[in-house]
Amino acid sequence: MKTFIYAAVLGSVLVSACMTAPGPGMKEGAVPPKLVIKDNAKTWDNTGSFGPVPASLTAKGEQSCATLNTMDAKFMAIGYHSHAMNADGKVFAEGGYYCARK
């Protein structure tokens, strides 16, 4: 099993949580992922709805996921959804990134 980190970006705010879940799909799903609280951490409820990171957003995704880096773990963007929602159901202006350990 892989442990994934999920991240959503709104301006410079990054929200993340760890859990085991399926990865992003081949395209964005019709039902966008939403942040939920699980085990006292924010995580995505619909990770399979993430599609690939568009080439034009690769650098921004890598920059966002890099904020999760520690000395022992480095992260990269492997998914994106343009209508990812915060815990209140509002769409993140810049979409949300699905980050995974390198």
Q: What is the pLDDT of residues 33-61, one digit of tens each?
A: 998 998 987 788 999 999 999 999 999 99
The tens digit of pLDDT for each residue in 59-74 reads 999 999 999 899 999 9
Name the average pLDDT for the chain: 81
pLDDT value at position 5? 36
Buried b (16+ CB within 10 A) or exposed e, 20-29: ebeebeeebb
* β pairing state of 41-44 and 75-81: unpaired
- Structure tokens given for 72: 């022992």
Which one-letter DSSP state was computed for residue 65?
A: H
The tens digit of pLDDT for each residue in 9-22 reads 333 233 333 334 56
Q: Which residues contact 12 (CB under 8 A, 6 or more apart)?
A: none
Is the confidence at residue 87, as pLDDT, over 70?
yes
- Structure tokens given for 99: 């980050």
Helix, strand, coil proportions of the chain in percent (round to 5)? 15, 40, 45
Stated pTM of the model: 0.75
- Structure tokens given for 26: 């081949």
pLDDT value at position 39? 92
pLDDT value at position 21? 54
